[in-house]
A and B are shown apart, each in its own frame.
Chain A
Amino acid sequence: MIINKGALEKLVILNTSCRVFGEKKADNTRYLIDVVKRMENSQETLDYAELVRNLPQKSFTYKALEVFARMRGWEKIHSGIIHSFFSEQEHVDFTLDQIAAQELRKRNPKFADKFLFSHLLVPVTLYRDGEEFRASYVNGKVHVAINGLLPHPWLKGDIPKKGVALIHFATIVEIGISNQTRRLFKDRQAKSKEFMEAAGAIKEIDYRSFWNVHEWTKDFWKCLF
């Protein structure tokens, strides 16, 4: 199994936006940032197993990505695989496991719904007003208004006043998303009963107040980039 630079870059962006994963595996992320910086072009590849073996902290999560790619018959992890891994039922199941293990659903069902929604890479209409970013996620009858977003330091290109983007937690991960790609993401997510129920119950999520994600993300990036 190999991974190209474009996919590894996306993996780092997604790792550095996850409030659960980020700080607990920060040494791994630092290592991956360094590897990305040393790679020359987006198509350059690395042996994935070797990359995972060299991580400074033990992590079983990377194995899940490899299995996900293999189950789909891929021998190369590219950006599309990263998109799928973070936006499909696989990631919903992964997050539901955490919700169950922490008994989040029993303790705070509203928090659990937002926790699940935040974990998925979702396509949104993004609005920029100066340095402020807000978005809306619409899928069938589901409509979630999202506030308190931040552009990732590795985000390429200027953010227009209105456009289609991918977000993960409070992070703007990618901009310039085509309507066709947005449709693909929405269709995938519409198939997840648990995700659609959670998103349908939320209506609004502000990352400045929800679990301090906005501030946490800014502070975490200061330590890394």
Chain B
Amino acid sequence: MCLTIPKKVISINGGVVIVENPNGDRQEMKTIVELKPGDFCLTQQNVVIDKMDKSDAQDLIKEIRRIKEKEEIL
């Protein structure tokens, strides 16, 4: 049960959602929840399964950056 990586919704076109990882990589997803650009979300098998509060997502992103900056993972 690892840390969930929050992704930011960049655009929505029909049923296709473009999301961005904290490192800037973008992916195409389908969604089962209503979204708008700027929302943060949780994805699974190329499907958006849930929205996240912006503050929760930002906390998680901070945590991921902290791990990276502290070189906790070499």
Contacts and interface: CB of A to CB of B under 8 A. Distances in A.
Interface of A: 11, 14-15, 18, 20-21, 24-25, 58-65, 67-68, 71, 89-90, 93-95, 97-98, 100-104, 107-108, 111, 115, 119, 211
Contact of A115 (B4, B22, B50, B73): B73
A72 to B, nearest CB: 11
A93 B67 CA distance: 20
A93 B5 CA distance: 11
Contacts of A89: 45
Contacts of B49: 63-64, 67
Contacts of B16: none
B39 to A, nearest CB: 14
Given A63-B49, A103-B68, A104-B73, A20 B2 contact: yes
B20 to A, nearest CB: 11
B37 to A, nearest CB: 20
Contacts of A15: 1
A58 B4 contact: no
Contacts, number: 79
A211 B73 contact: yes
Chain B, interface residues (CB within 8 Å), range? 20 to 34
A192 to B, nearest CB: 13
10 contacts: A63-B49, A90-B44, A93-B44, A97-B43, A98-B5, A100-B23, A104-B73, A111-B74, A211-B73, A211-B74
Contacts of B44: 64, 67-68, 90, 93-94
Nearest to A106: B23
A15 B56 CA distance: 21
B15 to A, nearest CB: 18
Contacts of A94: 2, 44
A16 to B, nearest CB: 10
Interface of B: 1-6, 21-23, 25, 42-45, 49-50, 52, 56, 63-64, 67-68, 73-74
Contact of A102 (B43, B50, B73): B73
Contact of A18 (B1, B6, B50): B1
B67 to A, nearest CB: 6
Given A93-B44, A100-B5, 5 more contacts: A20-B3, A59-B1, A61-B1, A63-B50, A211-B73
Contacts of A59: 1, 4
A61 B4 contact: yes
Contact of B3 (A21, A104, A211): A21
A24 B63 contact: yes
B18 to A, nearest CB: 16
A98 B3 contact: yes
Contact of A103 (B1, B3, B23, B56): B23
